[in-house]
């Protein structure tokens, strides 16, 4: 673009946003100072409040927003500040994450200097419901209660039905917390058993043919063969009132002949039935067993939070490593998250074309958002 045309374009853009003279155009240090001010209280909390208000509006307008939530944490690069004016925020520090294979062997290591961003995202709409910025030393599981509490505050009561996470969240404390909340976990199982591949259910002795593996999947053995043949038992459902998972004979349920059919079922119409009390091990026996299609569908939805992380890091520069100091970094991430929620609101408010020759009309979601915005403008919530 020729110099004269570029200058004219810049001049027009300046006047468009209300800056009448070239001398009034902010310098680079103005932006840096602005981020530092924005990172201090009360501005930092107000920035988070803007994000929460935007998500609340979306939650009221979009009937399934947050119903199936997915979570993850990712490392973000940052620079240490020169001074100690951090308003109580932790400075950036070194982080390290190891990736292991099925045998527990470390196959990859990622190291960074900065912070860790924890996100809770809607699986279908890929909109963030809650976020936290912490030191890289803070574990993923440690922040789940705070994320869930924030997301529940931004959504209608009882909206969150399930939460998918990788194995970093697979600990007893997390499963107990989600069970108390009534949220069904779809969390990858960590491999901890070193001695055996399977164990007998409590209450079953050596005469029983029912066992379970480390992920909580039940199997039965046909002991008439040598060596005995193992079959996965048929999952029937979660009996919430009993706090049990119900399984039945796979041969009876699948309609095929097993040599141990008579021995195991004793003429029962539905075959051998086994109920597993979830309280035995909430990690091992979640309300949605891992060896089910429902669990697989929910867990595959984790790619939604990975895509959101990629947009924040690649397109919006959250991982560029150019932000210096805790105040500026927290302000920058807060601003990025507000823009993320604002763009989601804008897209949801846009008219949609109905049919190949139809007129552009507002969807029910767009109408609800417009009504919510009008109420806020007139002094409503």
Q: What is the pLDDT of residue 40?
A: 94
Angle at 195 between CA 194 and CA 200, to 5 degrees: 115
Of the candidates 210, 214, 200, the residue with the CA atom closest to the CA atom of residue 233: 210
Alpha helix segments (H runs only) across 350-377: 364-377
Taking only the tens of pLDDT, the chain with its 381 residues reads 444 545 555 566 677 778 888 888 877 777 778 889 999 999 999 999 999 999 999 999 999 999 999 999 999 999 998 766 678 899 999 999 887 776 667 788 889 999 999 999 999 999 999 999 999 999 999 999 999 999 999 999 999 999 999 999 999 999 999 999 999 999 999 888 877 789 988 877 767 889 999 999 999 999 888 888 999 999 999 999 999 999 999 998 888 889 888 888 777 888 889 999 999 999 999 999 999 999 999 999 999 999 999 999 999 999 999 999 999 999 999 999 999 999 999 988 876 555 554 555 667 777 777 777 777 666 655
In 10 A of CB 121, how many CB atoms? Answer: 27
pTM here is 0.84
Q: What is the pLDDT of residue 2?
A: 47
146: exposed, middle or buried (Cβ count in 10 Å: 0-12, 13-18, 19+)? middle
CA distance between the termini of the chain: 48
Residues of 192-230 as b/e, b for ≥16 C-beta within 10 angstroms?
eeeeeeeeeeeeeeeeebbbbbbbbbbbbbbeeeeeeee
Q: What is the pLDDT of residue 91?
A: 92
Q: What is the pLDDT of residue 379?
A: 63
Please give the CATH number for the structural domain made up of 39-189+298-349.
Answer: 3.30.420.10
* CA 69 and chain centroid, separation: 5
State how far the Cα of 290 lies from the Cα of 294, in Å rounded to an integer: 8
Alpha helix segments (H runs only) across the chain: 3-16, 28-38, 43-61, 144-154, 172-181, 250-254, 261-265, 293-300, 303-310, 326-349, 364-377
**Domain boundaries for CATH 3.30.420.10 within the chain:** 39-189+298-349
H or E element at residue 133? strand 128-134
State how far the Cα of 214 lies from the Cα of 212, in Å rounded to an integer: 7
Q: If you compute the radius of gyration of the chain from its CA atoms, what whole number of angstroms results?
A: 27
């Amino acid at each position: 673009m020729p110099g004269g045309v570029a200058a004219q374009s810049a001049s027009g853009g300046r006047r468009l946003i209300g800056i009448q003279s070239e001398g009034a155009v902010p310098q680079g240090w103005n932006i840096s100072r602005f981020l530092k001010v924005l990172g201090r209280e009360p501005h930092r909390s107000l920035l988070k409040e803007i994000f929460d208000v935007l998500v609340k509006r979306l939650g009221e307008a979009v009937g399934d927003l947050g119903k199936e939530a997915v979570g993850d944490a990712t490392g973000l690069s940052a620079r240490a500040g020169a001074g100690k004016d951090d308003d109580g925020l932790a400075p950036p520090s070194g982080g390290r994450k190891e990736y292991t294979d099925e045998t527990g062997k470390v196959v990859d290591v990622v190291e960074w200097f900065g912070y860790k961003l924890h996100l809770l995202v809607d699986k279908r709409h890929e909109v963030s419901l809650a976020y936290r910025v912490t030191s890289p030393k803070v574990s993923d599981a440690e922040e789940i209660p705070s994320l869930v509490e924030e997301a529940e505050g931004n959504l209608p009561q009882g909206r969150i039905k399930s939460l998918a996470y990788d194995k970093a969240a697979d600990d007893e404390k997390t499963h107990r917390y989600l069970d108390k909340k009534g949220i069904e976990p779809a969390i990858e199982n960590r491999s901890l058993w070193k001695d055996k591949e399977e164990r007998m259910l409590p209450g079953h002795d050596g005469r029983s043919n029912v066992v379970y593996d480390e992920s909580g999947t039940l199997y039965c053995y046909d002991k008439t063969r040598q060596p005995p043949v193992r079959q996965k038992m048929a999952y029937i459902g979660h009996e919430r009132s009993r706090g049990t998972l119900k399984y039945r004979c796979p041969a009876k349920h699948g309609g095929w002949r097993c040599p141990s059919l008579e021995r195991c079922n004793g003429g029962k119409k539905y075959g051998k039935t086994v109920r597993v009390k979830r309280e035995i091990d909430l990690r091992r026996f979640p309300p949605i067993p891992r060896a089910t299609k429902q669990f697989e569908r929910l867990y595959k939805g984790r790619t939604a939070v990975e895509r959101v992380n990629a947009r924040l890091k690649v397109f919006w520069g959250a991982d560029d490593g150019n932000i210096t100091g805790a105040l500026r970094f927290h302000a920058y991430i807060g601003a990025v998250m507000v823009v993320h929620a604002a763009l989601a609101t804008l897209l949801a408010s846009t008219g949609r074309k109905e049919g190949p020759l139809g007129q552009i009309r507002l969807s029910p979601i767009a109408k609800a958002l417009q009504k919510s915005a009008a109420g806020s403008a007139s002094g409503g919530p």
